[in-house]
C-alpha cells in the first residue's frame, strides 16, 4: 500500500499573489505625465487663490477709501486720490514708489530746463526764443500728460491688475523714453537744454546757462534710464501675469473708460 506524501489541496501558485493586481507595469513616461499634470493643476489653483486674495484686498481697500478717502493729489488742487500705501499691494509698492519719484524728477527737470532756456536766451543765442517757447510748452503739456498717460495707468495696473492699463503704460511709456532721449541730446532750438546746448553754452562762456543745462541733462538721464529699467521689469511682470490683448479688449468692453478714474 503506497503512501501519499503530496497534499491534493496544495496550489501550484503562491497564495501571496494578489489576483487583482494589474500585471502591466506603469511606464515612466506615463508616471511623469501624471506628475506634470498634478503640478500644473496645483499652479493653477495657487494662481486662482492669489487672484481671490488680491480681489479681497482690493475690495477691502476700496470700501475703506469710499468711506474715508478724499481727493488728495495734486496737493495744491486735489483732483484725484493717490496713495501708494493704501491702494498698491505690498509687494509692488517699492516699484510704484520709484516710478512716482522718477515722475517727480521729470517735473523738476522740466522746471530747471525752462530756467536754463531763459539763460540761453539772455546769452544771445540765435535759437534762444525757440528754446524758451518750447521749454514752456513742455512744462505745461508734458508734465501733466506724463502723469496721466504713463504713470497713472501703471499705478492703476498694479492696483487692479488689469491688462488694459499695462498696454496703455507700454504705449505712452515707450513714447516717453524716446522723448527723454531727444531731450538728453539737446539740439539747439528744440527747447532742450541738453547735452549739445550745454556744451555750446560753456564754449560761449555763458557759465550760468551751462551749469543749469548740466543739471537739466543729468535730470533727463536719471529719469530716462530709471524709466527704461522699470519698463523692462514691468514688461516681465506683465508676461508672467498672463495679460493679453484679448483680455484688455474684454476689460475695456466691460468697464469702459470710466474705470480709469475709479478706484474699484
pLDDT of residue 237: 96
Task: Give CA separation, 237 vs 13, 163, 234, 242, in Å.
Answer: 63, 11, 5, 9
**86, 70 Cβ separation under 8 angstroms:** no
Nearest by Cα to 81 from 67, 99, 95, 92: 67
* Cell representation of residue 87: 491702494
Mean pLDDT value across residues 40-61: 80
Q: Give the dihedral sign, CA 117/119/122/124.
A: negative
- pLDDT range class, residue 28, cuts 50, 70, 90: low
Average pLDDT of 42-54? 83
SS3 73: strand
Which DSSP state fits 88? S
Across the chain, what does the average pLDDT equal? 86
CA distance 225 to 109: 14
Whether the upstream peptide bond of residue 157 has omega within 30° of 0, thus cis, is no
Residues 157-182, mean pLDDT to the nearest whole number: 96
Match 496703455 to its residue by C-alpha cell.
168
pLDDT category, 235, cuts 50, 70, 90?
A: very high
In this predicted structure, the answer to whether residue 263 has a pLDDT above a threshold of 70 is no
Vertex 164: Cα angle to 163 and 170 (nearest 5): 90
What sign has the CA pseudo-torsion 95, 96, 100, 101?
Answer: negative
* pLDDT tens digits for range 106-139: 999 999 999 999 999 999 999 999 999 999 999 9
d(CA 217, CA 223): 10
Q: How confident is the model at residue 232 (pLDDT cuts 50, 70, 90)?
A: very high
Residue 186, Cα to own-chain centre: how many angstroms?
A: 28
Burial (CB count within 10 angstroms: exposed 0-12, middle 13-18, buried 19+), residue 220 = buried
Give yes or no for residue 4 having a pLDDT over 50: no
CB neighbours of residue 143 within 10 Å: 16
Least confident range from 51-55, 159-163, 233-237: namely 51-55
Residue 13 has a pLDDT of 47
* Radius of gyration of the chain, Cα coordinates, nearest whole angstrom: 32
Amino acid at each position: 500500500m503506497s503512501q501519499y506524501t503530496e497534499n491534493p489541496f496544495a496550489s501550484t501558485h503562491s497564495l501571496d499573489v494578489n489576483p487583482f493586481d494589474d500585471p502591466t507595469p506603469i511606464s515612466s513616461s506615463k508616471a511623469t505625465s501624471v506628475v506634470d499634470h498634478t503640478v500644473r493643476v496645483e499652479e493653477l489653483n495657487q494662481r486662482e487663490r492669489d487672484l481671490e486674495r488680491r480681489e479681497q484686498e482690493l475690495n477691502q481697500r476700496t470700501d475703506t477709501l469710499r468711506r474715508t478717502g478724499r481727493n488728495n493729489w495734486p496737493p495744491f488742487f486735489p483732483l484725484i486720490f493717490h496713495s501708494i500705501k493704501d491702494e498698491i499691494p505690498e509687494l509692488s509698492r517699492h516699484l510704484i514708489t520709484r516710478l512716482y519719484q522718477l515722475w517727480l524728477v521729470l517735473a523738476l527737470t522740466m522746471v530747471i530746463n525752462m530756467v536754463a532756456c531763459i539763460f540761453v536766451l539772455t546769452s544771445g543765442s540765435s535759437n534762444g526764443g525757440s528754446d524758451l517757447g518750447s521749454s514752456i510748452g513742455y512744462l505745461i503739456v508734458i508734465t501733466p500728460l506724463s502723469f496721466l498717460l504713463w504713470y497713472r495707468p501703471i499705478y492703476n495696473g498694479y492696483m487692479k491688475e488689469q491688462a488694459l492699463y499695462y498696454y496703455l503704460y507700454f504705449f505712452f511709456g515707450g513714447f516717453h523714453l524716446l522723448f527723454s532721449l531727444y531731450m538728453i541730446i539737446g539740439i539747439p532750438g528744440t527747447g532742450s537744454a541738453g547735452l549739445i546746448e550745454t556744451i555750446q553754452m560753456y564754449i560761449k562762456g555763458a557759465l550760468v546757462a551751462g551749469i543749469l543745462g548740466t543739471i537739466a541733462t543729468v535730470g533727463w538721464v536719471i529719469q530716462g534710464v530709471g524709466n527704461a529699467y522699470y519698463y523692462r521689469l514691468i514688461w516681465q511682470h506683465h508676461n508672467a501675469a498672463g495679460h493679453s490683448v484679448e483680455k484688455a479688449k474684454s476689460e475695456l468692453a466691460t468697464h469702459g473708460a470710466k474705470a480709469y478714474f475709479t478706484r474699484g
